[in-house]
A and B are shown apart, each in its own frame.
Chain A
Amino acid sequence: MNEAGTTVIEARNLDLTFQTNDGPIHALKDVNLAINKGDFVSFIGPSGCGKTTFLRCIAALETPTGGALTVNGMTPDEARRSRAYGYVFQAAGLYPWRTIAKNIKLPLEIMGYSSAEQDERVNKVLELVDLAGFGGKFPWQLSGGMQQRASIARALAFDADILLMDEPFGALDEIVRDHLNEQLLALWARTEKTIGFVTHSIPEAVYLSTKIVVMSPRPGRITDVIDSPLPKERPLDIRDTPEFIEVAHRVREGLRAGHGDDV
C-alpha cells in the first residue's frame, strides 16, 4: 500500500503566527508543499525563515494558525499519536544516565516493545549507524559525531516511516559531516523512509535530497522547490559533476532572490 509516489505530507496555505511580547511574528506564510513517500526533502534558507517551525508543525510540536496540514491522511497530532515520526534534534540530547543502548531503548520502552525485541532492534540500529560495540558506553564517552549517530539510531529504532531531522549535523566539522551524509544516504536507501532534513549548507542539501525546498524569512515562506535530477546512487564525488553544480547554483539563486526582497 505504500508504493512510491503517494503523498505522505501535504501542506496547503499553511500559516503560523507566533504571538510574542514584541508583537506577532509571521513565521510561516502561505506554505504549499507535497512530500511523497520515500522522498528525501531538504529545507534550506537563512536563519529565522521558519525551517524549524515547519518541521515542528509536521511533528505536531507546533500548531499552525491557518491552512491545512495532513500527514498520512491524518492530522499531525493523530500521526504523532500513531507514532509516525522519528525526530532528530540539532543536539543529540542523549540521557547522560543511560548507556547508548539504553538511550536507544527509550522510545522502545515507552512504546511497550518486549525486552527481547528491544535488544534485537538496538543491535540492528547500532549496526545501521556504524556504532556496533558501543552500546555499553555512556554518552560522555563518545565524540560529538558518534553521539549524533546514536541519536539517529534512537529515531530509527521504532517503525516510524517519517524521519524529521533539524540540522542534525550543524554542530559537526566538515569531514565528520561528509561521512555522516554518506551514511545517511545509505541508510535512507535501505530503510525507504521519508526524510525531512533542515540544513544551512547548500552542498549538503543538494547531495542528500530528491527535493530541495528553498525558504526565505520575514515572513517565512517557500520561494522555490527543486526536484533533483541526480540519480539515487550518489558517491561523494558526484559533487564535482555539472548536474550537481547546476542544482547548487539554482539553490543559491533561490536563496539570493529570497534575500533580495528585504534589502
Chain B
Amino acid sequence: MKQIIAVLTVIAALVVVWYAACIPMNIKGVLTEQERAGAEVQPPSAKDRRDLSEIGLALNNSFAIPATWEQDRPRLPAPHQVAIELWETTVQKKITSKRSLIYHGWVTLSATMLGFAIGTGLGILLAVGIVHSRVMDLSVMPWAIVSQTIPIIALAPMIIVVLYSVGIQGIIPKAIISAYLSFFPVVVGMVKGLRSPDAMQLDLLRTYNASRSQGFWKLRLPASMPYLFTSLKIGVAASLVGAIVGELPTGAVAGLGARLLAGSYYGQTVQIWSALFAAAILAACLVGLLGLIERAVLKRMGMAQ
C-alpha cells in the first residue's frame, strides 16, 4: 500500500512537471494564434516576442496559459492530449483501421516477437558454443561485442537495402534488425549463467565420471535459468527498439515506427507522443510478461522460495 502511494506520488509529480513544461514550450505559438484571433498580447508584435524569454512571456500573458495545453499542433502536447489520442486510437478505432494504434502496435509486435525468437535462439546457441569451445570463446565474443558498437540507426538501412536486393522485404528485415539487437544480452547472460556452477560442483560431476553433455543438461543449463531470464527481459526491450528502428528507413506505412515517422512528417506531435507511449507500454507489457514466466518457472524449479 505504501509502495502504491509512493509510485502514484512520483507519477503525479512527473505529470505536474510535464504540464508546467508545456507553458514555456508552447507559449510563443499560442500567442501568435491568440493575436491572430484578435486578443491583446504583450508585446504585440511577433518580432518583439521572438527575443523574449518564454517564461517572461507566459507571466505577461497569463490569460493564454490554459491555451498552451489545448493546441492542435503543440511543440509539447499536454498529458491529457496524449491520453485522449491514445484512447481514441486504441479503444475507439476498429483494429482494422489504419489509424488504430492496436493495428500498428500489432505490426511492430509481430516483427518484435519474430526477431526476439531469432535473437534468443541465436544467443543461446552462441553461448553454448562459447562455453564449450575455447576457439569460439576467442573468436565469437569479440565480434559480438563489436557488433553492438555499430549504431543500429546506421546499420538498419543497409540491412534493409541488402535484403531488398535479394527479394526479402516485409517483416523479415525488421525481425533481423530486432534480432541483431536482442541476441547480445542473451549471449552475455547465458555465458555467465552457463559458467556459474562453481569448481566444486564441476568436480562433483567429475567424480561421477559424467559426460560433458550430462554436465550441460543436469548442471549448467538449469543453473543458467535465472541469468537467462534477466537477459531475456533486456533482450525483448531491445527487440522492440530494433523493430521500430527497422520501420523508419523504409518509410513503412504500418507499425509504431511508421506512426512516429508520419507524425514528425506532418508535425503531428500528439501522434508522435502517443506512438512513443504505445511503444513504452508495449515494452512494459513484454517485460512484465517475461517476469511472470520467470516467477512461474523458477518457482516450479524450486529456485524461488
Give chain A's interface residues, CB within 8 Å of chain B. Answer: 56, 59-61, 80-81, 83, 85-87, 89, 91, 93, 95-99, 106-107, 109-111, 138, 140, 158
Other-chain contact of A91, B200, B219, B222 (Cβ < 8 Å): B200
Does B289 touch A at the CB level, under 8 Å?
A: no
User: Once the chains bind, are B209 and A81 in contact (CB under 8 Å)?
Assistant: yes
Cβ proximity bits B210-226 to A, threshold 8 Å, 1 near / 0 not: 10001000110011010
**Please, which residues of chain A bring their CB within 8 A of the CB of B225?**
97
A-B contact pairs, 8 of them (CB 8 A): A81-B209, A89-B200, A89-B204, A93-B204, A95-B223, A99-B302, A110-B205, A158-B208
Does B15 touch A at the CB level, under 8 Å?
A: no
Of all A-B residue pairs in the complex, the 3 with the closest CB atoms, nearest first, are A97-B301, A138-B302, A87-B207
User: Once the chains bind, are A95 and B200 in contact (CB under 8 Å)?
Assistant: no
Expressed in whole angstroms, the Cα–Cα distance for A110 and B223 within the complex equals 17
Give chain B's interface residues, CB within 8 Å of chain A. Answer: 200-201, 203-210, 214, 218-219, 222-223, 225, 301-303, 305
Other-chain contact of A110, B218, B222, B303, B305 (Cβ < 8 Å): B218
Other-chain contact of B303, A61, A96, A106, A111 (Cβ < 8 Å): A96
User: Once the chains bind, are A61 and B208 in contact (CB under 8 Å)?
Assistant: no
**Please, which residues of chain B bring their CB within 8 A of the CB of A140?**
305
**Please, which residues of chain A bring their CB within 8 A of the CB of B204?**
87, 89, 93
Chain A min CB distance to B234 (Å): 23
**B205 and chain A: residue at smallest CB distance:** A110
Main secondary structure of the interface of A (DSSP, over half): loop
User: Once the chains bind, are B222 and A97 in contact (CB under 8 Å)?
Assistant: yes
**Extra inter-chain contacts (11) besides given A80-B206, A93-B204, A110-B205, CB under 8 Å:** A56-B203, A60-B206, A61-B207, A80-B207, A89-B204, A97-B223, A97-B302, A106-B218, A110-B208, A110-B210, A111-B208
User: Once the chains bind, are A95 and B219 in contact (CB under 8 Å)?
Assistant: yes
**Please, which residues of chain B bring their CB within 8 A of the CB of A93?**
200-201, 204
Expressed in whole angstroms, the Cα–Cα distance for A210 and B203 within the complex equals 28
User: Once the chains bind, are B200 and A80 in contact (CB under 8 Å)?
Assistant: no
Expressed in whole angstroms, the Cα–Cα distance for A207 and B301 within the complex equals 40
**A62 and chain B: residue at smallest CB distance:** B203
Expressed in whole angstroms, the Cα–Cα distance for A203 and B278 within the complex equals 70
Chain B min CB distance to A84 (Å): 9
User: Once the chains bind, are B302 and A110 in contact (CB under 8 Å)?
Assistant: no
Expressed in whole angstroms, the Cα–Cα distance for A60 and B200 within the complex equals 14
Other-chain contact of A96, B205, B218, B302 (Cβ < 8 Å): B302
Chain B min CB distance to A143 (Å): 15
User: Once the chains bind, are B207 and A109 in contact (CB under 8 Å)?
Assistant: no
Expressed in whole angstroms, the Cα–Cα distance for A96 and B209 within the complex equals 21
Expressed in whole angstroms, the Cα–Cα distance for A97 and B302 within the complex equals 5
**Please, which residues of chain B bring their CB within 8 A of the CB of A109?**
218
Expressed in whole angstroms, the Cα–Cα distance for A40 and B218 within the complex equals 32
Other-chain contact of A83, B200, B208, B303 (Cβ < 8 Å): B208
Expressed in whole angstroms, the Cα–Cα distance for A59 and B205 within the complex equals 12
Other-chain contact of B209, A56, A83, A91, A95 (Cβ < 8 Å): A83
User: Once the chains bind, are B208 and A107 in contact (CB under 8 Å)?
Assistant: yes
Q: A91-B200, A99-B302 are in contact. Are A80 and B218 (CB under 8 A)?
A: no
Other-chain contact of B207, A85, A91, A95 (Cβ < 8 Å): A85
Chain B min CB distance to A163 (Å): 11
**Please, which residues of chain A bring their CB within 8 A of the CB of B303?**
96-97
Expressed in whole angstroms, the Cα–Cα distance for A28 and B294 within the complex equals 48
Expressed in whole angstroms, the Cα–Cα distance for A95 and B219 within the complex equals 8
